[in-house]
């Protein structure tokens, strides 16, 4: 596979529409593809096969050096055929096909590619090309070009692996926050939080670790007004990250009007300020440790009825490493973090989704994009391995 196929297109808008990709890949139907039985070898050969079929003349122009950057460290989770932002998968036999996506959640907007103009390509925009090859005749039987939304809608959500989650705030993303006036990256509460949050709440007497009660949770708009003045330019003395985090948590709680006991900050838990469904982070390096819970995956949150990991709110203080002062803030529901920053994991992981072979039977002899299907059973979720 040519190295230039590992470079993204010059601009996001130049990506070939997936319906046209499916049409161009129709030339694979009936073509021979020799199966070696070795997963990596067959996977590599399939990528070359698809790249050759798409042809260089039909590919969008490549981005120039300096016009883009890969947001994921070591390119973990980034699709292999970057020029068309596609991943390829080989389907053979069995009752179902176990689609495995390594080091990214396909349903997340987690930034994978950042362009110099500020535009991005996210994990939920990768196109999946699944090619079914008959293991007896070694001929291509069908091709499916699918989007992550289609896979989730028709076959169910991708399974959540158990990993320690991290968020990467690149220097470019940090600089973008600093250039805002004021330097606060803000998104309001998600619509699902309507009826739970309120613009005005008297929090006196309420503690950090009480359960979040509808009508007693301050809206993000109101929190923004309080913390913008209180924290921008504020110095937090250099010390261990955990201690600095606890100091910021104490400052946030008191700024909101909460009562903080001497041992409250030692209890921990998620989110940090449970009564306000607010997770607090202090950061002067690119990596934000999220722990076990990540907005990349939807989970219910204990002690925060009505909130999930994607609607819990995040307050991230971006610190100047030279002056130890707060130079910028990120304040938004968790689901919005992936629109600006990149999720990674400390170890490799895979998200899985079973697709019944009946689906591939229904498109026999065709190359299709997000096809309408009937009578294809919805499979059970494949457990993580």
Query: What is the structure's pLDDT at 384?
Result: 38
Asked if 341 contacts 185 with a C-beta cutoff of 8 angstroms, the reply is no
What's the pTM value of the predicted model, to 2 decimals? Answer: 0.66
Here the tokens at position 333 are 């529901």
237-273 pLDDT, tens per residue?
876 556 788 888 889 999 999 988 756 665 667 899 9
Q: What is the pLDDT of residue 348?
A: 77
Residue 363: C-alpha distances to residues 32, 100, 205, 372 (Å): 18, 21, 62, 10
- Would the pLDDT of 12 be above 90? yes
* pLDDT (0 to 100) of residue 380: 56
C-alpha separations of 17 from 12, 124, 146, 165, 371 in Å: 11, 15, 12, 32, 15
Q: d(Cα 71, Cα 141) in Å, to the nearest integer?
A: 36
Give the rounded percent of residues in the chain with a pLDDT score beyond 90: 65
């Amino acid at each position: 596979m040519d190295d230039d196929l590992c470079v993204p297109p010059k601009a996001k808008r130049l990506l070939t529409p997936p319906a046209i990709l499916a049409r161009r890949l129709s030339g694979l139907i009936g073509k021979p593809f020799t199966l070696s039985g070795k997963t990596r070898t067959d996977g590599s050969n399939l990528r070359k096969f698809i790249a050759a079929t798409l042809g260089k003349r039909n590919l969008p122009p490549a981005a120039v050096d300096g016009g883009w950057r890969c947001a994921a460290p070591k390119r973990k989770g980034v699709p292999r055929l970057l020029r068309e932002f596609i991943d390829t998968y080989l389907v053979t036999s069995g009752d179902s096909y176990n689609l495995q996506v390594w080091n990214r959640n396909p349903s997340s907007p987690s930034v994978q590619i950042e362009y110099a103009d500020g535009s991005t390509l996210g994990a939920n925009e990768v196109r999946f090309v699944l090619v079914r090859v008959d293991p007896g005749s070694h001929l291509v039987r069908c091709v499916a070009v699918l989007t992550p939304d289609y896979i989730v809608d028709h076959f169910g959500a991708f399974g959540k692996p158990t990993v320690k989650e991290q968020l990467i705030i690149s220097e470019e993303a940090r600089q973008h926050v600093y250039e805002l006036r004021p330097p606060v990256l803000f998104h309001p509460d998600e619509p699902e939080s309507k009826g739970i949050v309120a613009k005005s709440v008297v929090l006196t007497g309420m503690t950090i670790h009480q359960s979040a009660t509808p009508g007693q949770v301050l809206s993000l708009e109101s929190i923004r007004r309080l913390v913008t003045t209180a924290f921008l330019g504020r110095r937090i003395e250099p010390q261990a990250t955990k201690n600095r985090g606890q100091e910021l948590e104490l400052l946030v709680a008191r700024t909101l009007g909460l009562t903080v006991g001497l041992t409250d900050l030692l209890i921990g838990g998620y989110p940090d300020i449970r009564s306000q469904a607010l997770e607090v982070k202090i950061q002067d390096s690119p990596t934000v440790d999220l722990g076990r819970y990540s907005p990349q995956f939807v989970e219910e949150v204990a002690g925060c009825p009505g909130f999930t990991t994607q609607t819990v709110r995040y307050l991230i203080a971006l610190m100047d490493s030279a002056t130890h002062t707060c130079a910028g803030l990120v304040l938004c529901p968790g689901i919005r973090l992936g629109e600006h920053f990149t999720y990674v994991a400390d170890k490799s992981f895979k998200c899985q989704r079973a697709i019944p072979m009946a689906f591939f039977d229904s498109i026999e002899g065709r190359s299709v994009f997000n096809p309408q299907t009937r009578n294809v059973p919805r499979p059970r979720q494949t457990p993580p391995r």
